Structures are given as structure tokens and as C-alpha cells.
Amino acid sequence: MKIFVSVGTHAQQFNRLLREMDSLIENKKIIANVFGQTGNSDYEPKNFAFKKFLDEKEFEEKFGWTDMIISHGGAGTIINAMLNRKKLVIVPRLKKFGEHTNDHQLDLAKALEEEGMALAVFEIGELGTAIKKAEKFSPKIASNKEGLVNAIKEFLEKKK
């Protein structure tokens, strides 16, 4: 299995996700070929390849390469995962950990999980379980790409 971990380009770190992923690999809780885009995090994974930022071409290549996306709750990565029909595990950034300025990513993660479009991780210790579950998960993907993008945009607009 190939996993692409994307934390986006937000100005704040997302060390919590990267550390947990590193630990799962180190302790052999998951066996996978993993690549991470670590953004503005200062934690550097020891057990998987990574790059802080990817250009557009590299980002598209990773989407073509991967079987599963593990993402923060950012709309850009989520939309790309859905448009590319990839299994998606969302780990929302949380304000209490200094990962974002508010907790809006929780709402998007909950809504997409309720619709059967993604799996969401609300407690970081559940990431390994979510990855195992995602291996057999078939996300409900809208057949109309434009409709999918518009539905997510409308959801985000309502939260402003």
C-alpha cells in the first residue's frame, strides 16, 4: 500500500499527525510505502520520506502514485483526493494544539464522514485503526466532479 500524507501549506505546524504516522511505521502498526508533505511543521519524520512543500507537478504525481491520502481538513487536498477517487482519511487540525486558529476543520471532516466520502480521525491514537479501516473502505464519490467541488465550497461558505 502507498500512502501520501499531506498537511497542506497552512502557516502553523501539524507535528501531531506526523509524529503519529512516524510512530505507527516504527512500531510496525502499519506496513506501507509512505511519503509526507510536511509543510510548516518542524517535526521531521524518521521512518518515511518527506518534503516540506511540493510544487503542483510533484503534488499531482503523488496523487497518481498513492492508494490512500491522509490529510488535514483542508479543502484543497480533500477535493483533489475525491476528484482522483482516492481513499481519504482526514485528521482535522485543532486550535488547542496550535495547529490552526480555530476548529473549522472538524465540521468538514464530520460532514464528509457522515456522507461516506471519507474516514475521520478525531483522536490521534485512532489513526492506525482508521488506516486499517480505509484499506477496505470504498468512498462514495459524486460522479459529477463540478458538483462535488461546488458542494464542498457551499459547505465551507456556510461555515464562514
Split into its structural domains, the chain has a count of: 1
43: β partners: none
Reported as a single tens digit per residue, the pLDDT across 99-144 is: 999 998 999 999 899 989 999 999 999 999 999 999 999 888 755 5
Tell me, what CATH number does 71's domain have?
3.40.50.2000
Residue 149: pLDDT over 80 = no
Residue 108's SS3 state is helix
The boundaries of the domain holding residue 37 are 2-158
Residue 63's SS3 state is helix
